[in-house]
Amino acid sequence: MYEKYPSAASGLKWMFIAEILSLISIPLVFIAIGGLTALAATVLSLVGLYTATRDDPGYFPALYASVADLVLGVIGNALGEGILNTVLSIVSTVLGLFIVYQVITTTLNLLDGRNGTLALRGGYVIKIYVVCTLVAAVCMVLSIIPIVDLLAAVVSIVAVIAMVVGYVFYLMFLYGASKALV
């Protein structure tokens, strides 16, 4: 019989719920409840990562990166527009990639080859996130340069569409892994 990881499963389930709340908060951002929903999503994601660490310490780097990303977001919002904010946005984007990578690889290590579909889905997510993160970082730098910023905006739109596909795969991964680990 396979080894079970109830804390990791529970943590991934909380992360899945947090991601859904993040999606819901996007259209609600213009009213007060949107900010509260986004805050709840952030808290649930951190709780999920912390819960998952009970079964595997491999989730700790993702937890620390999430806290760092949260701090960078607060600092970036306080700074407003500018080059330093762009640098913080790039760092935040890279941290997001690291978090997803760490969650997927740690989860796949726990599954130990038991679920080929999840392994394949996780691989797709990582590849999509790496490419989109690189494109986003380049576009953020190019958006500072006049005239080139228009090209960067068009490329960013394509990257965002690809990222949505990756995000859907990531949601499916979190949901499937939370079921497979119990």
The DSSP code sequence of 6-59 is: HHHHHHHHHHHHHHHHHHHHHHHTTSHHHHHHHHHHHHHHHHHHHHHTTT-GGG
pLDDT category of residue 2 using cuts at 50, 70 and 90: low
pLDDT value, residue 66: 96
**pTM, full prediction:** 0.87
Q: What is the pLDDT of residues 111-152, one digit of tens each?
A: 887 888 888 888 889 999 898 888 888 887 787 778 887 888
